[in-house]
Homo-oligomer: A and B are copies of this chain.
Amino acid sequence: MFEKVLERVNKNSPLLHCITNYVTVNDCANIILACGASPIMADDISEVEEITSICNALVINIGTLNERTVSAMVKAGMKANKLGHPVILDPVGAGASKLRTETISRLINKVKFSVIRGNISEIKTVYQGSGTTKGVDADIKDIVNEDNISGVITFAKSLSERTGAVIVITGAIDIVTDCNNSYLIRNGHPMMAKITGSGCMLTTVIGSFCGANSDNILDATAAAVCAMGICGELAYEKLAKSDGGTSTYRSYIIDFMSKMDAKVLNGGIKIESR
């Protein structure tokens, strides 16, 4: 169903400006290339406006934020807004410190985001302006399941309404919603939580897809979530046939993204409109 989204990524090969953490930055750059886009990482305040100007979209990830880079994030975000570029936010560890929670508020006040993607605890913190994130993972009491999912969708829709962003809550079931339409996506594999960066990487795939599909952010985002989840599944299948572990698994995920096409995507997609 997302043939056109993929087609435009491959045709336009969007350039993606990332201000991101130094933990998963290499994996992010590689998966951006793997999915058909091209990355440039630049975080000095004196160049971020120029860099974002030559790009098609901007990803802001606060994973290893500091005072210097937060200012650069705000400046780059405002410039991208002026240019009409999609801006994607990954609020890593929102709720784990005052700095993170306040940075999110500052960013959301200054920058209009096209997409905000996090786990349920991070997104709750974005919503409430405070939170109880356990480090960079979701709090157990927040976990989304079939029983509470309607409530979570309602909450995500209201955050979308307030921010104007497509909201993505990833977990066992992924939610992608704007203020009107929602997708539930059941792709992915639990082993993705055993490697660092599966969330960060997804955010950059979303950025890549949105960079080439800025007129259809909801579908571009949903396609990226499905593609990443399918890669997690295919990587697990391949791993199960060998005797590898988590590092090989990480590598396989990026491998499968580099071979993703409409046929694989449509063959594996588990999506439901709500």
Interface residues of A (CB under 8 A from B): 15, 21-27, 29-30, 33-34, 38-44, 46-47, 50-51, 54-55, 63-68, 93, 96-100, 134-137, 194-197, 244-248, 250-259
Contacts and interface: CB of A to CB of B under 8 A. Distances in A.
A250 B47 contact: no
A33 B193 CA distance: 9
Identical copies of this chain, number: 3
B100 A247 contact: no
A191 B246 CA distance: 21
A64 B50 contact: no
Contacts of A255: 244-248
B44 A23 contact: no
B23 A29 contact: yes
B50 A97 contact: yes
Contacts of A33: 194-196, 246
Given A54-B134, A97-B51, A247 B43 contact: no
A141 B233 CA distance: 40
A236 to B, nearest CB: 13
A212 to B, nearest CB: 15
16 contacts: A22-B22, A23-B25, A34-B246, A39-B196, A40-B93, A40-B96, A42-B97, A46-B98, A50-B99, A55-B135, A244-B255, A246-B258, A247-B251, A247-B252, A247-B258, A248-B252
